[in-house]
Amino acid sequence: MSSYKDIVKLTGLSLGTVSNVIQGKGNVKEKNKEKVYAAMRQLGYRIDYQARGLATNKTSLIGLIVSNIENIAETKMLMPMETFAENHKCRIITATSRNDSDRERRNCEAMLSSKVDGLFIFFESLENEEYFRNLAETEKIPIIFLARYLDNCKLPYVAVDNQYAAKSMVDFVYERGHREITYLDIAEESMLSPNRDRRLGVELECKKRGIVYKKREYKRLENDMEVGYHAAEEMILSKSMPSLVFPRDDSFAIGFYNACIRYGIRIPEDVSIMSFGNFYPKEVTPKRLTTYDRRFDKVIHEATLMYLKIREARDNGLEEDKIKKKLFVKGNIIVGETIKDLTK
Amino acid sequence: MSSYKDIVKLTGLSLGTVSNVIQGKGNVKEKNKEKVYAAMRQLGYRIDYQARGLATNKTSLIGLIVSNIENIAETKMLMPMETFAENHKCRIITATSRNDSDRERRNCEAMLSSKVDGLFIFFESLENEEYFRNLAETEKIPIIFLARYLDNCKLPYVAVDNQYAAKSMVDFVYERGHREITYLDIAEESMLSPNRDRRLGVELECKKRGIVYKKREYKRLENDMEVGYHAAEEMILSKSMPSLVFPRDDSFAIGFYNACIRYGIRIPEDVSIMSFGNFYPKEVTPKRLTTYDRRFDKVIHEATLMYLKIREARDNGLEEDKIKKKLFVKGNIIVGETIKDLTK
DNA sequence: TTGAAAGCGCTAACAA
DNA sequence: TTGTTAGCGCTTTCAA
């Protein structure tokens, strides 16, 4: 491990000059620049971000806390996050909370101890409201919620516009002649902002149009596909299959779809499916799912933009008031083949 | 942001004592410990890992470079990695190479500049052989390949035992009366160690048993499900559907399965599928895939164990020779419903 | 254009 | 048991 010291020795220049060359700052004679470059190459020198961070009081580290990294929805946030990191020369530290609020808090603390320049949080438990409210008061780095929000907390967020989503989806099926919707949710998670907003949105839009709205809730299992599978199986065996279902997300829908195939229920002839997420490749089902694209890429894009704005304001002592800190991102319907057109 | 200085001021103790309390080291009077704790609470003090790292010459940062984080196989490595990080009080920095060898090298350099204590790499291009060979000579932190290896490189690795996998899978179908196997691969990736080993392994095992071995290669598309879907579609339309296929992985198999459903081809009556990976919940297909569990959890477990051993040896100046640095992990068949039993 | 020196927040060795 | 001090590898300010 070579350091500036070694370069100083090799070149005979001073620490300050070496630093200037490496940072590409100040006025340094071309000849001396070359000397430094040569020494760097010879030594296989590599800058030490840690030391630089200590000196500059930032780390170029961005924290990303998710709930369950194996959940395909959350996976979708990683790539755009990496792209941001690449473009802004920073690195991502990740941590997973696994639906455990203690762990979530520990993760936050570790991130703050790691002196991340910014922190993005995708939470899944509602138990840390107070903790987050407190963070909002005490921390000076930007902390931004992803795809969820807390009603009584000042932390900024970028979420999916679930009311808009609800309206789009109800519109879509209404236009195709559907007059009855059965909403399928997972009980334990039904009060998280996105699930709640969407469910209530669908209910409201149904009321407006005189559509019959029904709701069924299922117990959380190992994964959402399993829940969807069992939900469909139960309906099939009890002969209570609705004409149209709104599963809470694509994973649920896929399980549902496969139980239908298994039992010879035809899609969309016997049951239509309006899914939510657009997380999987279209070949994940025999007929492409009709689903609502949540645009997590946009969520991350907006969140990182917001982060930059907040940082800039704080670094330069500007007023932060003008920055919009509560954003909702609109998605769009992906037209697949799982909604029967009743008007034909 | 409070620091030791503030605690010193508040308690009247010295820096060294404060440091001892916070590290839980040395002998400090109970009363003074309490003082320090009280001051920490009052100040909302949080340790600065960056400064600690600079002083101790380690970061407690572990680097993880993957190829495509949205690939479900790679996602499977994150959770066990996080578990390790949690148990060993370190944090994970991730980076994604996206099948770009330049980016892969840049990622490595950034990790080394971040002074990670260890680096785990899941690579997908074969172009950086020389770069890695060089790293093996110059870097003193443990750098470990995950689920792949390079033939002429000293870097340690933990890979899936693909020859064993091949044997297991061929055995399984042989016992059920199959005497012909069609192996489906993606051309561009067929020379990566796991793909190559497995394909050659299957070929060899077929030869041993007098099974007819056929191979088909497909062009890489956006995702593997799509490739699988088109592969099946092509076979169906050209009426050349084999009796048994070995798709290169679960994603490929799912696409294949769904094209079959779409066209009314029955599984396993018309075509049997022996898949590879066990990456998805079993409800991802109407009938559970018969697949080989790659046990990426085990791969990560072994890799982190290897990391600890190497670190320990280097930290204590022990000889590293005794550490096994080339490991192969054995998986097992998951018996699903996609292999027809021809013996009945 | 270059050099000298202080400092970032911590650890660790040593002295008291 | 506590305090003092040097130092980790860099940046930055100021003087030369």
The pLDDT of residue A316 is above 90: no
Buried b (16+ CB within 10 A) or exposed e, B181-197: bbbbbbeebeebbbbeb
Asked if strand C contacts A14 at the CB level, meaning under 7 A, the answer is yes
**Nearest residue, CB atoms, A54 vs list B54, B82, B113:** B54
Q: Which residue has the higher pLDDT, B1 or A138?
A: A138
Query: Strand D and chain A: which residues 23-42 have CB closer than 7 Å?
Result: 23, 25
Rg over alpha carbons for chain A, rounded to the nearest Å, is 26
B49-88: pLDDT as tens digits: 999 999 999 999 999 999 999 999 999 999 999 999 999 9
| Residue with CA nearest C1' of nucleotide C13 | B16
Cβ–Cβ contacts within 10 Å for residue B230, how many? 17
pLDDT band at A53 (very low <50, low <70, confident <90, very high): very high
The pLDDT of residue B153 is above 90: yes
| Residue with CA nearest C1' of nucleotide D11 | A55
**Cβ-defined contact of B283 to A53 (cutoff 8 Å):** no
Tell whether pTM > 0.85: yes
CATH number of A162-293: 3.40.50.2300
Asked if strand C contacts A50 at the CB level, meaning under 7 A, the answer is no
**Nearest residue, CB atoms, A283 vs list B54, B82, B255:** B255
- Among chain A residues, CA nearest to B75: A70
Nucleotides of C under 7 A from a protein CB: 1-14
pLDDT band at B26 (very low <50, low <70, confident <90, very high): confident
- CB < 8 Å to B79, chain A: 69-70, 96
pLDDT band at A319 (very low <50, low <70, confident <90, very high): confident
Question: Does B141 touch chain A if contact means CB atoms closer than 8 Å?
Answer: no
Asked if strand D contacts B177 at the CB level, meaning under 7 A, the answer is no
Asked if strand D contacts B32 at the CB level, meaning under 7 A, the answer is yes
Mean pLDDT across chain B: 96
Give the whole-angstrom CA distance, residue A167 versus residue A238.
30
Q: What is the DSSP letter of A289?
A: P
The pLDDT of residue B316 is above 90: no
Q: Average pLDDT for residues A161-178, to the nearest whole number?
A: 98
**Cβ-defined contact of A261 to B92 (cutoff 8 Å):** no
The pLDDT of residue A338 is above 90: yes
Q: Average pLDDT for residues A190-203, to the nearest whole number?
A: 96
- Among chain B residues, CA nearest to A114: B49
CA nearest to B159, candidates B111, B112, B120: B120
B156-186: pLDDT as tens digits: 999 999 999 999 999 999 999 999 999 999 9
Contact B16, B32 (CB under 8 A): no
Asked if strand D contacts A47 at the CB level, meaning under 7 A, the answer is yes
**Nearest residue, CB atoms, A49 vs list B69, B113, B261:** B113
Percent residues over pLDDT 70 in chain B = 100
The pLDDT of residue B36 is above 90: yes
Report the distance from CA of residue A31 to the C1' of nucleotide C6 in Å, as an integer.
29
Percent residues over pLDDT 70 in chain A = 100
A59-160+296-331 carries CATH number 3.40.50.2300: yes
Q: Average pLDDT for residues A58-85, to the nearest whole number?
A: 95
CA B83 vs. chain centroid, Å, equals 14
Question: Poorest-confidence range of A289-303, B207-221, B260-274, B315-329?
Answer: B315-329
Cβ–Cβ contacts within 10 Å for residue A179, how many? 14
Enumerate the domain spans of chain A. Answer: 4-47, 59-160+296-331, 162-293
CATH number of A4-47: 1.10.260.40
List of residues 6+ apart from B106 with CB closer than 8 A: none
Contact B79, A69 (CB under 8 A): yes
pLDDT given for residue B319 in this prediction: 86
pLDDT given for residue B216 in this prediction: 97
Give the whole-angstrom CA distance, residue B108 versus residue A119.
23
pLDDT given for residue B220 in this prediction: 95
Q: Average pLDDT for residues B24-49, to the nearest whole number?
A: 94
pLDDT band at B233 (very low <50, low <70, confident <90, very high): very high
Give the whole-angstrom CA distance, residue B62 versus residue B337.
40
A229-280: pLDDT as tens digits: 999 999 999 999 999 999 999 999 999 999 999 999 999 999 999 999 999 9
Give the whole-angstrom CA distance, residue B91 versus residue A114.
9
Give the whole-angstrom CA distance, residue B298 versus residue B303.
8
* The two domains B59-160+296-331 and B162-293 share their CATH topology (first three levels equal): yes
Asked if strand C contacts A17 at the CB level, meaning under 7 A, the answer is yes
**Cβ-defined contact of A284 to B287 (cutoff 8 Å):** no
Q: Collapsing DSSP states into helix, strand and coil, what is residue A245?
A: strand
List of residues 6+ apart from A60 with CB closer than 8 A: A49, A53, A89, A90, A91, A117
Q: What is the DSSP letter of A319?
A: -
Whether a cis peptide bond, with omega within 30° of 0, leads into B268 is: yes
pLDDT given for residue A299 in this prediction: 98
